[in-house]
């Protein structure tokens, strides 16, 4: 059987750093509140004119270089995002033009789970023989969608992009994947206006309906229930158990979520990767950015078993178990 293995990893972050103290000049909040409730100290913001496709293109070029491939070697591009440059065309098409790809390109939209959904699509394409080299990007600029007068949401998010090259290989690679969604509670986390239900109007803008709105406590409860469950299902699909995990790499939404999940899975906290302090919640980008951090800091070894776990609006969730096969940097 043909498997999908990660052969390239890349990241791209906007230059502008925004600290908690910077945010405290915009809304009534404090460094102490943000750090103790979320673990976040600073995050990156896109600059005026910088877009999700710019971030995605930067991460893609880094991943291609890491894999030692040219754009012409890629035969499918999948971009996971929920802050597309525009409703149409897809962000994938815009990235494609920016980096000179010629292959089919499309977006996958599953909020903060988008990267796991995109990995599922790429892995399926490779295992079925329909593609041999797939570029997968997680890119988001959610700071363009948040209301900077709403302290409950604007302190959480940062911008960035990460990318993997997945290639056909004789051994895995990607092992088991578990995906799920429950569309019965869209209001828990949504951007209500700007789509076909509620097209942008003076009224929607006056009512702030084009901003991201979130019931933080419901998302918290959903996350700490869902991450352990989907991780265990994906491990079972891989014939592995929690004891086989080298790293749990969850979507970086809140340090308190990561700590609770570690306790519920009885995992030592140091095996649950976190870089939320410096990046905040980068949505679809957070998982590939986390893998890139581990890889470039020399903390991944051939044979390591990683659980990449996402959750977010939809509601959506998913986990991909990966055996790390790249040589050390």
Distance CA 165, CA 64 (A): 7
Would you count residue 112 as binding ligand ACO (CB under 6 A)? yes
Nearest residue to ligand ACO, scored by beta-carbon proximity: 312
The answer for residues whose C-beta is within 8 angstroms of residue 25's C-beta and 6 or more apart is none
Give least dist CB 167 to ligand ACO, A.
Answer: 29
Find all residues with CB under 8 Å of 263, minimum gap 6, and list them. Answer: none
Q: Which two tokens stand for residue 25?
A: 């000049």
Decide: is 281 part of the binding site for ligand ACO (CB under 6 A). yes
Q: How many helices (H) and strands (E) does the chain have?
A: 11, 13
Q: Which is nearer to ligand ACO, 35 or 232 (CB)?
A: 35
Taking CB under 6 A as the rule, does residue 139 contact ligand ACO? no
User: Does residue 312 interact with ligand ACO by CB under 6 A?
Assistant: yes
Residue 25 found at the interface with ligand ACO (CB under 6 A): no
Residue number, 83 or 238, with CB nearest to ligand ACO: 83
Q: Stretches 31-39, 54-62, 180-188, 272-280: which one binds ligand ACO (CB under 6 A)?
A: 31-39
Least separation in angstroms between CB 32 and ligand ACO: 9
Q: Is 103 a catalytic residue?
A: no
Tokens describing residue 45: 């913001």
**Can you tell me which of 254, 255, 274, 292 binds ligand ACO, judged by CB under 6 A?**
254
The answer to whether residue 8 forms part of the interface with ligand ACO (CB under 6 A) is no
Active-site hit among 20, 112, 120, 254: 112
147 belongs to the binding site for ligand ACO (CB under 6 A): no
In the bound state with ligand ACO, the residue whose beta carbon lies nearer, of 29 and 53, is 29
Q: Is 126 in contact with 4 (CB distance < 8 Å)?
A: yes
Query: Least distance in Å: CB of 6 to ligand ACO?
Result: 23
Considering only residues 81, 121, 143, 283, which one is a binding residue for ligand ACO as defined by CB under 6 A?
283
**Does residue 251 have an active-site annotation?**
yes
The burial of 266, by beta-carbon neighbours within 10 Å (0-12 exposed, 13-18 middle, 19 or more buried), is given as: exposed
Say if strands 212-214 and 189-191 run parallel, antiparallel, or are unpaired: antiparallel
Q: What are phi and psi of 177, to 5 degrees?
A: -130, 140
Residues 308 and 248: their CA atoms lie apart, in Å, by: 7
Q: Is 281 tagged catalytic? A: yes
Number of amino acids touching ligand ACO (CB under 6 A): 24
Question: Does residue 126 touch ligand ACO according to CB under 6 A?
Answer: no
Distances 111 to 209, 212, 256 between C-alpha atoms, Å: 17, 11, 20
- Of the candidates 38, 80, 42, the one whose C-alpha atom is nearest the C-alpha of residue 216 is 38
* Bridge pairing between strands 105-108 and 305-312: unpaired
286 binds ligand ACO (CB under 6 A): no
Q: Which of 3, 120, 251, 254 is catalytic?
A: 251
Q: Does 221 bind ligand ACO (CB under 6 A)?
A: no
DSSP character at residue 182: -
The residue among 225, 288, 216, 228 whose CA lies nearest residue 253 is 216
Q: Does 238 bind ligand ACO (CB under 6 A)?
A: no
3-state secondary structure 59-71: HHHHHHHHHCCCH
Residues belonging to the active site: 112, 251, 281
Name the residues that contact ligand ACO, by CB under 6 A.
29, 33-34, 37-38, 111-112, 151-152, 155-156, 189, 214, 216-217, 219-220, 223, 253-254, 281, 283, 312-313
């Amino acid at each position: 059987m043909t498997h999908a293995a990660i052969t390239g990893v890349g990241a791209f972050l906007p230059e502008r750093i925004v600290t908690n103290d910077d945010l405290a000049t915009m809304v009534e909040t404090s460094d102490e509140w943000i750090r103790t409730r979320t673990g976040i100290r600073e995050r990156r913001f896109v600059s005026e004119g910088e877009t999700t496709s710019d971030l995605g293109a930067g991460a893609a070029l880094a991943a291609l270089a890491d894999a030692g491939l040219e754009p012409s070697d890629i035969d499918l591009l999948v971009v996971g995002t929920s802050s597309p440059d525009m409703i149409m065309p897809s962000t994938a098409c815009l990235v494609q033009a920016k980096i000179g790809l010629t292959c089919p390109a499309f977006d996958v939209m599953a909020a903060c789970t988008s990267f796991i959904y995109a990995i599922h699509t790429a892995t399926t394409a490779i295992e079925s023989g329909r593609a041999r080299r797939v570029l997968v990007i997680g890119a988001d600029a959610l700071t363009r969608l948040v209301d900077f007068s709403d302290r409950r949401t604007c302190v959480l998010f940062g911008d960035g992009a990460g990318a993997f090259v997945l290639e056909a290989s004789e051994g895995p690679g990607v092992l088991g994947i578990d995906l799920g969604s429950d569309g019965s509670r869209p209001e828990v986390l949504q951007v209500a206006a700007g789509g076909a239900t509620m097209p942008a109007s003076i009224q929607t803008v006056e009512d702030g309906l084009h901003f991201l709105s979130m019931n933080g406590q419901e998302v918290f409860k959903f996350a700490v229930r869902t991450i352990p469950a989907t991780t265990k299902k994906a491990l079972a699909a891989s014939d592995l158990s929690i004891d086989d995990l080298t790293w749990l790499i969850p979507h970086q939404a809140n340090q308190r979520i990561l700590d609770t999940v570690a306790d519920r899975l009885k995992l030592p906290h140091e095996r649950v990767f976190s870089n939320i302090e410096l990046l905040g919640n980068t949505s679809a980008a957070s998982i590939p950015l986390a893998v890139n951090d581990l890889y470039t800091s020399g903390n991944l070894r051939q044979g390591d078993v990683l659980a990449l776990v996402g959750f977010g609006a939809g509601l959506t969730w998913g986990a991909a178990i990966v055996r790390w096969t790249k040589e050390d940097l």
